[in-house]
Amino acid sequence: MSTRPYYIAGNWKMHKTRAEAAELAKDLVARLKGGKHKYLVAPGFTSLETVGALLSGTNILLGAQNMAAEEQGAHTGEVSVLQLKDLGVRAVILGHSERRHIYKEDDALINKKVKLALTHGLEVILCVGETLDERDAGQAEVVCETQTVWGLAGVSAGEIGSITIAYEPVWAIGTGKTATPEDADAIHASIRTVIGRLYGGGAANKIIIQYGGSVKPDNVSLLMAKENIDGALVGGAALKADTFAPIAAFAAGQPPAVS
């Protein structure tokens, strides 16, 4: 079981009107008050201001799901780091598999975003993960290592403390399939080894590595009980307080929660 602080983040993806987002945020603020872990929710861009006002002064951080690689300028349809900070955003999810595979973001672009976010004082959740074909070919660790190394290129030892890695096997996102706790922990351990090689053992021991991929109330405790798994990046189950709150309130090593 990890001795690092657990970090549970909810990615609402392209769901929720402002009214729906506000209702969910209010419910989570009430349910997670006094919670013992670190919490974040990442609404859609249109709901950031609404949700941010409700999270202000609570124990839940406001996150964004993506951001532009440029600080500002003629980039139609993009959202800048300056605009996110203006809304009270504290952290940004970068390199999510949907950005990589659907919107064709490559490692170089993701790295540019990572460095820009850090320059402006935002925390970063950097997502890495393999496809099913890559796993079947025995390339899972290599893919995650490559994405980690490239994603952190140019990130200093002083900045690594603002980085969280989220391991999300692409084949487990939104499919109902979940990597076994043992399989997930093995990849987390491999990523931690990479961090150690890049930044030293101290940084490797401290960095938080989340698991993402069909995390649910009935499997979260088993996942979090593993030595190298330090939290969760939750998708579908983050869209309802009745499923996200039990995940957020898990106790590692305890029987699975019932939603």
Kindly tell me if the per-residue pLDDT of 72 is higher than 90. yes
Tokens in use for 20?
A: 């729906």
SS3 category, 166: strand
Q: Please report the pLDDT score of residue 259 as a whole number.
A: 41
- Amino acid found at 247: I
Q: Tell me: the pLDDT tens digits for 81-115? A: 999 999 999 999 999 999 999 999 999 999 999 99
- Amino acid found at 23: E
- 256 pLDDT band, cuts 50/70/90, is very low
Q: 7-248, superfamily in CATH?
A: Aldolase class I (3.20.20.70)
- 252 pLDDT band, cuts 50/70/90, is low
Q: Tell me: the pLDDT tens digits for 220-243? A: 999 999 999 999 999 999 999 999
Instruction: Name the residues annotated as catalytic.
Output: 96, 168
> How far is residue 218's CA from residue 125's CA, in Å, rounded to a whole number?
24
Residue 162 bridge partners (DSSP): none
Tokens in use for 50?
A: 């609404």
Mean predicted confidence (pLDDT) in 126-135: 95
Beta strands in 119-220 (DSSP E): 123-128, 163-167, 209-211
Q: Please report the pLDDT score of residue 111 as a whole number.
A: 98
> How far is residue 94's CA from residue 164's CA, in Å, rounded to a whole number?
10
Provide the whole-model pTM. Answer: 0.95
Q: Please report the pLDDT score of residue 254 as a whole number.
A: 52
- Amino acid found at 239: L
Q: Residue 95 region, left (φ>0) first, then alpha (ψ -120 to 50), else beta?
A: left
Summary mean pLDDT of the chain: 94
Sign of CA dihedral 219, 225, 228, 229: positive
Closest CA to 16 of 65, 60, 56: 65
